[in-house]
């Protein structure tokens, strides 16, 4: 039994893949699995509902729970705590030691626990009917499709390396990369196919946000902004690593300067005002 499954982040690239499957431009998917952290901005859920209305490959929504609640409690999705008091479902926050020295980005476990593992549980349990921890049936072949584009070669390599260590029944494909489609190409493809701006899928408190995305959240999604500030306050106290912040400036999110570099310096220009986009590791 060969099954073709799209890992659906409901962002630009995976939306393009889903619509291309409907149009017959890539392999037809049997299922698209959306791993829901329950912490996406409202526009992501509206966009997902629109995709579900198209009558394309079945979209399965699955979740391990509300990620932010686990981050605040310092537990995994089952409620387990680490003995050393550190955060279990940690997000890639910016860490500063007690002396005020910036130490970079902390450990990131949220994607695996609330995205990767959720998709695999759906495949094993709901699609193939496997008991937890058991291998796929002998006649099974699961092909997962990732919305990684041509401008993300390092991510493609990392995923390929991960799958190379898995049983041969588990395979992975990258149609956008193979077609040499960049994120920009995906946006152009979606321009006349989607009646709204396709959002970038990421939790409201994702530390990879740019200042432009933080401003958008603060101005247009007050509940999402409050939630981000709540999680930011909670991660501050992980004393095993120092102080943590979800804004790259190592200050509380409420106090962060969200202006563009051009607005800060008064030198308004194309390159000065460009906010480098993060890798968007949580959603594609």
Tens digit of pLDDT for each residue in 124-141?
Answer: 999 999 987 788 999 999
Reply yes or no on whether the pLDDT at 221 is more than 50: yes
Residues 6+ apart with CB under 8 A from 282: 9, 37, 110, 111, 115, 201, 202, 203, 206, 208
How is residue 130 written in tokens?
Answer: 């496997």
For 61-92, how does the pLDDT look when each residue is reduced to its tens digit (9 = 90+)? 999 999 999 988 888 888 777 655 555 667 88
3-state secondary structure of 123: helix
**Dist. CA 223–CA 68, nearest whole Å:** 13
Helix (H) or strand (E) holding 48: helix 42-52
Number of Cβ within a 10 Å radius of residue 264: 11
| Verdict on whether the full-model pTM lies above 0.85 | yes
At residue 277, the pLDDT reads: 36
CB-CB neighbours of 19 under 10 Å: 19
Dump pLDDT digits (tens) for 192-210: 999 999 998 999 999 999 9
Q: What share of the chain is helix, strand, coil (3-state, %, to 5)?
A: 35, 15, 50
**pLDDT exceeds cutoff 60 at 268:** no
CATH of domain 2-65+110-190: 3.40.50.620
- pLDDT score of 280 more than 80: no
């Amino acid at each position: 039994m060969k099954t073709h499954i799209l890992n659906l982040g409901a962002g630009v690239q995976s939306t393009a893949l889903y619509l291309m499957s409907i149009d017959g431009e890539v392999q037809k998917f049997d299922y698209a699995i959306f791993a829901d952290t329950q912490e996406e901005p409202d526009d992501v859920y509206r966009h997902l509902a629109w995709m579900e209305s198209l009558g394309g490959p079945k979209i399965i929504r699955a979740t391990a729970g509300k990620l932010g609640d686990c981050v605040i409690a310092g537990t995994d999705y089952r409620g387990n705590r680490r003995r050393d008091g550190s955060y279990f479902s940690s997000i890639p926050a910016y860490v500063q030691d007690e002396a005020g020295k910036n130490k970079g980005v902390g450990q990131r476990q949220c994607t695996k626990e609330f995205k990767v593992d959720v998709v695999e549980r759906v495949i094993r349990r709901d699609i193939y009917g496997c008991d937890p921890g058991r291998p796929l049936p002998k006649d099974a072949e699961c092909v997962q499709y990732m919305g990684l584009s041509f401008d993300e070669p390092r991510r493609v390599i990392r995923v390929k390396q991960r799958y190379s260590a898995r049983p041969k029944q588990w395979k992975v494909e990258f149609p956008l990369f193979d077609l040499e489609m960049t994120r920009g190409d995906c946006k152009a493809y979606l321009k006349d196919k989607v009646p709204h701006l396709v959002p970038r899928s990421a939790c409201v408190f994702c530390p990879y946000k740019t200042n432009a995305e933080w401003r958008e959240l603060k101005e247009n999604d007050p509940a999402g902004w409050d939630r981000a500030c709540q999680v930011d306050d909670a991660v501050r106290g992980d004393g095993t690593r120092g102080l943590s912040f979800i804004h790259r400036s190592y200050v509380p999110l409420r106090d962060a300067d969200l202006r563009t570099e051009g607005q800060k310096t008064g030198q308004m220009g194309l390159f000065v005002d460009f906010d480098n986009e993060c890798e968007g590791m949580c959603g594609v």
